[in-house]
Structure 1
């Protein structure tokens, strides 16, 4: 499904601008676009649910409702049984939506009460609220949305599930839980992150025949990570040796936490780093190589013991299992003069939040809770505007910010990228440690070829999720972080 979606992601304001350009610059009547949307949605509905005979079409006060009225008219003309639920008085509609309502009226069909229409529907069409939603849904509209969610019939959302913020993926009070969503003209950023993936169902896109010049000179708000494999994973020279592929130093694994550092180190090795060294607590230095003998381990009692290791390192990954006690704090502080590329995760992020500083050479990889500490707010605030939070962290701390979660966001000076690989099985301990190692390993190899740190971080997120998707073929529940390690080789050797 994701492979069929476009790379570019847009905000609601940008899609409105695309609409304007299509209408004013290309001369496509607005009602023609609405009719194309209704027809495309009906086609998608019949593909998804070919046995459906009775539709409940819920129409709201704007153009999203207009799309619904068009779909209802076309479905009735095609011989389906259609019941239309008007969430607001159709007499208050304007422009193209009013025209769509008038064309539906010509067919002489009465409006239906929500209860009867929803209870008898084979499929429900959500045409209540589109991308222009700016405040929480409440009152009768909220009650209708809750009624839709309580039915057993599948739901097709037009453009975006009603109640979802098109820019951030946040739920605005309540949201339709769709089984499928058909987005029009430009794919909305909010469908791909935050609550978007959970409430959109299967996602499809229809450009409505809008010509390519409409998109010229309008940079998207974000881009999906779609690696060019020849650049991301170029064939190695036949005379290559380990010195060509970098040396990753993982600093972590405080007392009682050797697993996190080991996962990060093995992930770096599995994506192709030439050498990987672990600087860990002395209690673990002899244990970790027994599980993965390819990892060189050094027990660090004093921060000065890092100096020789740092002199040989290409990339530092710090944080997995580091802890925030005296041992971890002293090692973190000792990295203050390190000026090479660095991946900062887990406890190192918490130490950074306690004593903020800004650098351009690092990649920060917080989950929402760590991001909240970095920005001195709560997790709900982060999730309410994930793109804004990623931008704020990159602005305050410099470098590259990877805000993990559903639809992980990668923000650097060049803009915003979104990674949509991965699955719910990744909600288990150690997954972030694996990602840290992957990104560090790619940075050590300078992959993608000629890429920036932001591109390496984005590629790392993609590899991480793709490996998890392969590992989840045996089932999402019970997926372990270590299960990804075997599949990393498959992903990076296409």
Structure 2
């Protein structure tokens, strides 16, 4: 897993590097040179650049990059949104370097026409906290409306380096080159639509040598987990857990069917489905390997709960009397839980909600907002903070779904870099619940301490299965039912090594 940091932590790494003897302007030159090299690699035919600079060190990076480009024979259009004569420190030295290279910064105006083959965003950097103001907002709008590919220096201007939220507006970069250490905000929330291709350029700084700077999060890798080693040759179904899926209120059977079938494909030794009686025939037809039971009341659940090693509760559960009763019975069973969909809404309505360690909860932003008593916009404004607050209030392990899904608890936070827009379709959350439930049934008996790792493993399996399915048939029209067979391949990595295919 790759460490991710907040902006202030990266600035501290910058300060320490300079204090250790590297001149600040030399570090700026190193950053600009690395960004320019990335530009040339990404667009080898480009010979003209439009470089837009604001203020501070991010602008300094832009001025140095412009100077390097001129020295390399590029035709450079240099546009200043702040008076370059007002820049001091290393940024002032960068302006002087650009002028020595023969450049004369052009003051920004709304009618400027970009002339470069590539445009470079060195407007705001990571220091932005409030919403983008003029004239930067107009410059960002112009960049996004242009035909040129866009290089963002360190971070797309207008994107929060800590949260991935758009601060009013943001540059839609084609390539983002980020320096020293990777930033959390480049990997979650709105970032997926603004970062483009992402490259980390450490500039010779090793963040891992600063143990007191604890990463804000970790970027998950594509290897699901050490839990998925080949099975012993003499194992039997009783060795691999018994999962009970509770869901499918009258008239809402599909979600629970999806969850239970996906769980069976992910290796739970036995999968039982407790659903409304009218859905039994559909389950038997769809997946006869799932042991389906029509249940009318919580009393019907008693023997099923006793036999289960883990429970998924919520898909198609509803919030009427049937769902309420099933939810309360699942809570009282004392078994590890995966909580999704209507079970999350019932939890949000609880007068005295429980707090426990032995559950994984998987809200989308709207469900998270109900649990926190805020709006989904508030959740998306600071997704990491939302996960932290959910864990503080309710305990357990949380999957905040969406682009750059977050997986966290009170101790740690991880980001999933996989997945695609084709997952914006009904039933994807039910498939995730089934995957998580299957893992918890198989391995959760090791204790609550493994649930965090199983949550991360399940989220990676789910997202990478969706990527494989999209690679095979496209994103548009991707269905939740398509994921189970691909997730099965990924859950058997030493037999069916599909890692290269997924990349």
TM over 0.5: yes
**Correspondent of 1:245 among 236, 240, 243:** 240
* Alignment partner of 1:362 is 2:359: yes
Aligned equivalents of 2:206, 2:363: Cα separation in 1? 39
Q: Kindly indicate whether the alpha-carbon contact (under 8 Å) linking 2:83 and 2:107 is maintained by their aligned counterparts in 1.
A: no
In the TM superposition, residue 232 of structure 1 has moved relative to its aligned partner by 3.4
Cα deviation code 1:447-488 (max 9, x no counterpart): 799962111111100000000000001200010000111111
Given the two structures, how large is their TM-score scaled by the length of structure 2? 0.94
Aligned equivalents of 1:456, 1:12: Cα separation in 2? 29
What is the match of residue 126 of structure 1? Answer: 121
Aligned equivalents of 1:491, 1:188: Cα separation in 2? 28
What is the match of residue 87 of structure 1? Answer: 81
* Alignment partner of 1:292 is 2:291: no
Cα deviation code 1:99-141 (max 9, x no counterpart): 1111111123222255676431110000001111111011111
Q: Kindly indicate whether the alpha-carbon contact (under 8 Å) linking 2:47 and 2:75 is maintained by their aligned counterparts in 1.
A: yes
What is the match of residue 438 of structure 1? Answer: 435
Q: Kindly indicate whether the alpha-carbon contact (under 8 Å) linking 1:231 and 1:449 is maintained by their aligned counterparts in 2.
A: no
Aligned pairs for 1:65-464 (under 5 A) are 65-114=59-108, 118-211=113-206, 214-226=209-221, 228=223, 231-355=226-350, 356-446=353-443, 452-464=450-462
Aligned equivalents of 2:446, 2:66: Cα separation in 1? 51
In the TM superposition, residue 286 of structure 1 has moved relative to its aligned partner by 2.5
What is the match of residue 56 of structure 1? Answer: 50
Q: Kindly indicate whether the alpha-carbon contact (under 8 Å) linking 1:227 and 1:459 is maintained by their aligned counterparts in 2.
A: no
Cα deviation code 1:326-369 (max 9, x no counterpart): 11111112223222210000000000000032222111100001
Aligned equivalents of 1:156, 1:232: Cα separation in 2? 40
When the two chains are superposed, the root-mean-square deviation of aligned CA atoms in Å is 1.6
Gaps of at least 5 residues in structure 1 are 1-5
Given the two structures, how large is their TM-score scaled by the length of structure 1? 0.96
Aligned equivalents of 2:468, 2:23: Cα separation in 1? 45
Aligned equivalents of 2:178, 2:490: Cα separation in 1? 30
What is the match of residue 484 of structure 2? Answer: 485
Cα deviation code 1:394-437 (max 9, x no counterpart): 11111111100001111113210111111000000000000001
Gaps of at least 5 residues in structure 2 are 494-503
What SS class does the counterpart of residue 79 from structure 1 fall into? coil
Change (3 A) 1:211 1:404: closer
What SS class does the counterpart of residue 456 from structure 1 fall into? helix
What is the match of residue 3 of structure 1? Answer: none
* Alignment partner of 1:476 is 2:475: yes
Aligned equivalents of 1:78, 1:429: Cα separation in 2? 52
